[in-house]
Amino acid sequence: MYRTVDTSAATTTTTESVDYVVNLDQIPRWSDAEHRSSLEFVNEDPSFSNSYFPDPLTSPTDGDGGSNGVVSRFPVDHEINSKIYLWRGNPWNLEVDAVVNSTNENLDEAHSSPGLHAAAGPGLSEECGTLGGCRTGMAKVTNAYDLPARKVIHTVGPKYAVKYHTAAENALSHCYRSCLELLIENGLQSIAMGCIYTEAKNYPREPAAHVAIRTVRRFLEKQKDKIKAVVFCTTSSIDTEIYKRLLPLYFPRDKHEEEVALSKLPADVGDENGETIIDERKIRIKPLPKKNVPKPPQVPDDPPVSDVRLTRRLVE
């Protein structure tokens, strides 16, 4: 059972039998973070503590912050920033158009985001059984049933191994991009996304957050007119702190944050989609080097001496 949260819910004691519905007006935009400490509304699930996020930008003393003439790869974009939200809580408690479910290739309830199927009701599991599975890096959409959202977008995150780091990065990036593409294809405008990468698949938390945030940024640069809101949802203090620290790098809110990001961004932030370029792929598309083909041996005009003798015998 869901109940809408109002502004007085910040002091309400949460019971296990009630799920709260939170709408976008009740949580701050990323662009409003500098005023966050004075806001009077709820910005996270009432079952989580530490409601308000402080300004996540590291102090200027942590780095030079000078641009030295370097052009920012992620410049300030106030329109894009106004579409980003950071919320600590379960994504399916949000009243948005779509929520993302991180699952496995069989779309099993047991391997889905914990609690989502229980909140949605049995209809979700039944519909998932008709989809024929889902490949890693791809996404599929279903109805949301008892959830406040209209749709659930299911996606399958990659398993992580150091040996295949780049492949895992690109598969994870494709998960986020596929979810956003399905959002637009279904005429939807707002989405709540938990951490698609899971500990069960051994994906390191911070590198995965870099992939998630930069992929969303690159997507919004191209499709910001079609998307109203993207909510990054976290359910642990570790992930919350990571997102608070990384969001200013990809979604700087002013020139100071943009300049600080220049010295803190990874060297490789991917292509125009946020996807890492694989070196082996570069090698394949290069023209093959010219080979020195040995010339065939030249046949002498005069036959060898042995052949001359043989010819004379045949004539005699």
Give the CA distances from residue 61 to residues 58, 246, 260, 267, in Å, rounded to whole numbers and listed in that order: 8, 17, 10, 21
Residue 173 tokens read as: 């990036």
Non-local (6+) Cβ contacts of 16 within 8 A are none
The closest of 211, 223, 303, 214 to 250, measured between CA atoms, is: 214
For residue 5, what pLDDT is reported? 54
For residue 277, what pLDDT is reported? 75
73 vs 298: CA distance, rounded Å: 61
* Domains of the chain with CATH codes: 83-264 (3.40.220.10)
For residue 69, what pLDDT is reported? 63
Task: Output the tens digit of pLDDT for each of the chain's 316 residues.
Answer: 565 555 444 333 333 444 789 999 999 899 985 434 433 334 555 555 443 444 444 444 344 445 566 789 999 999 999 999 999 999 999 999 999 999 999 999 888 888 999 999 999 999 999 999 999 999 999 999 999 999 999 999 999 999 999 999 999 999 999 999 999 999 999 999 999 987 778 999 999 999 999 999 999 999 999 999 999 999 999 999 999 999 999 999 999 999 999 999 988 888 888 888 766 544 454 555 555 656 666 655 555 555 555 445 555 5
For residue 200, what pLDDT is reported? 78
Alpha helix ranges (H) inside the chain: 78-81, 116-120, 122-128, 165-185, 205-223, 237-250, 255-264, 279-285, 305-315
Cβ-count burial of 287 within 10 angstroms (0-12 exposed, 13-18 middle, 19+ buried)? exposed
Helices and strands (H and E) in the chain: how many: 9, 9
For residue 85, what pLDDT is reported? 97
For residue 198, what pLDDT is reported? 74
For residue 4, what pLDDT is reported? 59
**DSSP classification of residue 26:** G
Residue 32 tokens read as: 């409003």
For residue 17, what pLDDT is reported? 42
